[in-house]
Each structure stands twice: as C-alpha cells, then as structure tokens.
Structure 1
Amino acid sequence: MANKLVNQAQEVAKEDLDRYKTLVNEAAKSGSYLYPIKGIFYFLSHRELWKPLASKLIPYLSLYAGVIGPMFFFTYLPQLAIMVFVNGPLAVFTTVVLVLNESAAVVSIISKNLLLQEALLDTFDGTLVAKKQTEIVKNGRELKTRGDSVQRLGRVLKNPFSKFSVKELVRYFMYLPLNFIPVIGTVAFIFIRGRARGNSVHDRYFQLKGWSSSTKSDWLKKHKGPYAGFGTVATLLEMVPVASVLFSFTNTVGAALWAADIEAKDTQMTKETAPSLRDAAKKAE
C-alpha cells in the first residue's frame, strides 16, 4: 500500500513538473517575461507617463505608512517565533523582509482597487496612445486631438478594473505560509501569485478589443506560459517594499507595450492564434 502511494505521488510530481516545464518553455519563447523590464525603461524615458503616478504618490505613501506600523506591531513577533525554527539566527532579518513584503502586498491590493485605479488606467491607455494605438483606445474612452499621450486622454467610456475584492486578500494570506518552506516554498508562492497576476494584466486590452468572456478565456488558456512569465516577473518587482508603487506603474506600461505588440502582430504568440481569435471576437459582438 505504501509503495503504491509513493508511486502515485511520484507520478503526480512528474506530471506537475512536466506541466511547469511546458509553461516555462512557452514563456521563454514568447519573451513575455521581458515586458515588465521594458516597461521600466519606457516609463523612465517618457516623462508624460509620470503624471498619473505623481498625482497619487503622496496618498500612496500615507497609506503605506498607515499599514506598515500596525503590521510590525501585531505580526512581527508571532512570525519571528515560527521563522526561528526555519531560519535560525537569520530569522530576525528574514522576518523583517517577510513583514515588509506582507505590508507591500496589503497596500498593493488596497491601493490598486481604491486609490490607484484611475491612475493605472490612464497609464495603460496613455502608453497605447504613445505607441500609436489610438483606434483601439477610442473603444474605451474619448481622445483629445492635442497634447502628449496622457493629456490626450478624455472621458472614460469603459472601466474594466474591478472593485476591492476580499477574496484577493484572503488568497494572498492563504498561500503565504509557503514562504516558511525554504527556497522551494518561496518559489512556489511567487509562481502561484505570478500566474494569478498574469491573468489580469490585459483586462483593459481585452475590453478595448470587445472580446467576449469565452474569447478571452480561450486566449488565456492558449497562452498560459507567456502570461505566467509576465506575471511572475511583475510579482517579483511589486514585492519590493516602498518601490512597489513605482513597479505597479511600470508593469502597467509593460502590459500596454505587450498589448501594442500583440495588436501589431509583432510577437511570437500572435503569428498563429491572433487571426482566429480576432474572427471569434467579431462573431461574439
């Protein structure tokens, strides 16, 4: 009986490993993991894209300060008691990092839904305008004829971002204990968060395209690897304490750059699937 269970466990582990290898290979071929990095350089070189971030920076820092104090007061010692068994003397430092990351995650979830929503939307649409994708942006908002890429953004006609979700916060803390498992647990946690993060990066793009939920689902299923790759790198960047707000915006820029390349069919993943999905989208309208 024991041997049978061991064999089944090994079989499941092999299947999971093969699936993850496939996802990694798909992500590598697509180059999607590079877009968060491209987003950083594009953001830094286009000053007009700084405006949405600048307008929310002080409120964000105030929120961060209001979260990090209570988090250290209430969670540091309990988590230190657990981390001592895992990291030994290093637990004093690793627990600080853990609490900082937890604080950043809480602030990120709250701010994206309640504070940064409009600013991130302007950043995504503004990047598309800067990439000359004005026709698709017009499907979701009015555009002015003059000004830079952000100044041209007019009234929003469609807003895709969901409101605050308690489930998202619960899901984060549900998987958080994985971090207590050295190396493997942390990698698993980041990958799980990355896959979830990747599935939402193009919500605005899908809406601007007018895709139905089934067409969107088909696209995401066919490109699990690329979206997991983007989401994992984006998650790593947004785990950086304090600077996470900057990376939230640069990741949004990266997602828009990716969308612009998909629209221009300038990516490996669009060579075969984009035409069929475009036809499916038209039929769904």
Structure 2
Amino acid sequence: MSDKLKHMAVAEANSARAASHDVLKSGAYLYPIKGIIYFATHKGLWGPFMSRAGRTISLGIGVTSFMFFFTYVPQMAIMAFTSGPLAAFSAGLLVLSESSTITNILSRSFLVEDALLDTFDGTLIARDLEPLVAQGRQVKPQSGGRDAMARLGKMISKPLARFTPQALFRSLIYLPLNLIPVVGTVLYIAVQGKRLGPALHTRYFQLKGWNARQREEWVSKNRGAYTGLGMAAFALEMVPFASIAFSFTNMVGAALWAADLEKETK
C-alpha cells in the first residue's frame, strides 16, 4: 500500500506541475473567494444554509469526537517520526482535517444535497439567468420584492450524486498524504481539487443539457481552471468546524463562474 501511495503521489505531483500554469492563468481559483463575499453580502441566499446548520454542526461534533478518540494517538505516534516534538500539534491538525473531510462527504450525501442545489440555482437567478435555471426547475415570476431564493419552484431534475461507499473510499485513501508535512498536504489538496472542481459544476452541466461526452470534452479543455477551482474550494472545506459553511459559499462561487461563462458566450 505504501508503494502504491508513493506512486500515486508522484503521478499527481507531475500532473499538478504540468497544469500549474493553466491553473494560475485561468483565475478560476478566485471564485471560491468571490463566493464568500457574494454570499456574505446577499442575505437572501442564507436560507438553505441556515435550515441545515444545526444538523450539520451536530454531525461535525460527532465525527470529530469519534476521530479524536480512535485515531489521534496512533497518528501522533506515526508523526513523531516526521514532526518530532510538534507531533502532538500536527496530529491534532491532521485529525481535524480528516474530520472535516468526512463530515463534508457525509453531510453532502445525506443532509445538504438539496440545500446546495437551491443555493446554486438561487445564485444563478440573482445573476439574471432565469432561463438557464428554468431548464432544471420551475422558476416563479418576480413580484412583490421576491428575492432569488423565493423564486425557486419545483425541481425537475436533481444531478447531485448520493452517497456511495466508493466515493468515501476514494476520498479517504489519500488521507495518509497528510502525514507528510506541507508537501503531502499540498498534494492531497491537488488530488481532491482535481476531483472536486468538475463536481462543483455538475448542476451547470445538467442545466446546459450536456451529455457525458460533452461534459468530458469541456472539462478536459478547461482542466487547469477546474483544478484551480477545486483546489481553492477544497482547501476552504478543510477548515475545521467551518467546512459546511464553505461548501455553501463554494457553490455560490461555482455559480458565479457559470454565470460569467454564460455571459462570455453571448
């Protein structure tokens, strides 16, 4: 397993090095930050997040408590060889990072899927893209000061995938990279960001009516941009106790990029 993990790390490092120029050139990595600002300044988008906050916080506390009880001491023992006297501190940060990742996977799959979808669609409506949103759900007419979220009607189609053991395994198999100080964490973010970037636009692809081949061609053409978007988004979602909040702002950021892409094509 260690040799396999080493080969995976080397492959991802080479891939990330080759794509780094495209990542920086695209500027897509800025959209998660734009999402934070837009979300903070548009109170009408807060509803879906606030409705799920209590349950997701409870889940996060439960997962974090479990992880510290069962994994903190073994990981501290391992990190004693790589971090020396800072092993206790480094292991604590690692457990918090792992807990955030697991909490985010579980909450996205079981608690906040519909809320994230509403947030994405609501942001598009706030950016005057009602015709695009109407491809995937009913949109109520604007009247009486109704905000973007209040205009969301019945869903026609839902693209976000439910939880699967394979998805959890793919996310957890790379966690040992964090045992390597600094470099390992950067590689871990790069690996997960490469996966998360296109996933953030799953709803956009569906609203566009693209089939699997069209999606793959578009993502391949814009691989650097999606990798940058995913890396920035995933880094935010690694922040302990704030990962769920950032998953909502990341959806806002992804929707803002989709809105800009739409306006560029007109």
Give the TM-score taking structure 2 as reference length: 0.92
State whether structure 2 residue 59 is matched by structure 1 residue 63: yes
**1:30 maps to which residue?**
26
Q: Separation in 1 of the partners of 2:19 and 2:60?
A: 34
**1:5 maps to which residue?**
none
Q: Given that residues 198 and 231 in structure 1 are in contact (C-alpha distance below 8 angstroms), is that contact kept between their aligned partners in structure 2?
A: yes
% same residue: 48
State whether structure 2 residue 87 is matched by structure 1 residue 88: no
The aligned runs of 1:141-220 (5 Å cut-off) are 141-145=137-141, 146=143, 147-220=146-219
Q: CA deviation at 1:31?
A: 1.0
Higher RCO (Cα < 8 Å, 6 or more apart): 2
Q: 1:90 to 1:48 in 2, by over 3 A?
A: same
**2:49 maps to which residue?**
53
Q: Given that residues 132 and 208 in structure 2 are in contact (C-alpha distance below 8 angstroms), is that contact kept between their aligned partners in structure 1?
A: yes
Q: Separation in 2 of the partners of 1:172 and 1:132?
A: 35
The C-alpha deviation readout for 1:186-211, integer Å capped at 9, x for no partner, is: 21111001101112110000000000
- Once structures 1 and 2 are overlaid, which stretch shifts more, 200-209 or 174-183? 174-183
SS at match of 2:149: coil
Q: CA deviation at 1:258?
A: 0.3
State whether structure 2 residue 102 is matched by structure 1 residue 106: yes
SS at match of 2:154: strand
SS at match of 1:253: helix
Q: Separation in 1 of the partners of 2:16 and 2:96?
A: 29
**2:7 maps to which residue?**
none
Q: Separation in 2 of the partners of 1:74 and 1:99?
A: 10
Ranges in structure 1 where 5+ consecutive residues have no aligned partner: 1-12, 266-273, 276-285
Q: Separation in 1 of the partners of 2:13 and 2:255?
A: 31
**2:69 maps to which residue?**
73
**1:239 maps to which residue?**
238
Ranges in structure 2 where 5+ consecutive residues have no aligned partner: 1-9
**1:3 maps to which residue?**
none
The C-alpha deviation readout for 1:107-156, integer Å capped at 9, x for no partner, is: 10000011000100000000000000000000000011131000000100
Q: What code does the residue aligned with 1:173 have?
A: L
Q: CA deviation at 1:21?
A: 4.0
Q: Given that residues 16 and 190 in structure 2 are in contact (C-alpha distance below 8 angstroms), is that contact kept between their aligned partners in structure 1?
A: no
Q: What code does the residue aligned with 1:27 have?
A: V
**2:5 maps to which residue?**
none
SS at match of 1:158: coil
Q: CA deviation at 1:169?
A: 1.4
The C-alpha deviation readout for 1:42-96, integer Å capped at 9, x for no partner, is: 0000000011100000011111111111111111111111011110110111111
Q: What code does the residue aligned with 1:242 have?
A: F
Q: Separation in 1 of the partners of 2:70 and 2:111?
A: 25
- Once structures 1 and 2 are overlaid, which stretch shifts more, 123-132 or 20-29? 20-29
Q: What code does the residue aligned with 2:95 have?
A: V
Q: CA deviation at 1:183?
A: 2.1
Q: 1:150 to 1:235 in 2, by over 3 A?
A: same
Q: Separation in 2 of the partners of 1:199 and 1:43?
A: 21
State whether structure 2 residue 112 is matched by structure 1 residue 116: yes
**1:271 maps to which residue?**
none
Q: Given that residues 22 and 225 in structure 1 are in contact (C-alpha distance below 8 angstroms), is that contact kept between their aligned partners in structure 2?
A: no
Q: Given that residues 23 and 228 in structure 2 are in contact (C-alpha distance below 8 angstroms), is that contact kept between their aligned partners in structure 1?
A: yes
SS at match of 1:81: helix
Q: Given that residues 23 and 226 in structure 1 are in contact (C-alpha distance below 8 angstroms), is that contact kept between their aligned partners in structure 2?
A: no
Q: What code does the residue aligned with 2:88 have?
A: V
Q: Separation in 1 of the partners of 2:28 and 2:156?
A: 29
**2:4 maps to which residue?**
none
Give the TM-score taking structure 1 as reference length: 0.86
Q: Given that residues 29 and 228 in structure 2 are in contact (C-alpha distance below 8 angstroms), is that contact kept between their aligned partners in structure 1?
A: yes
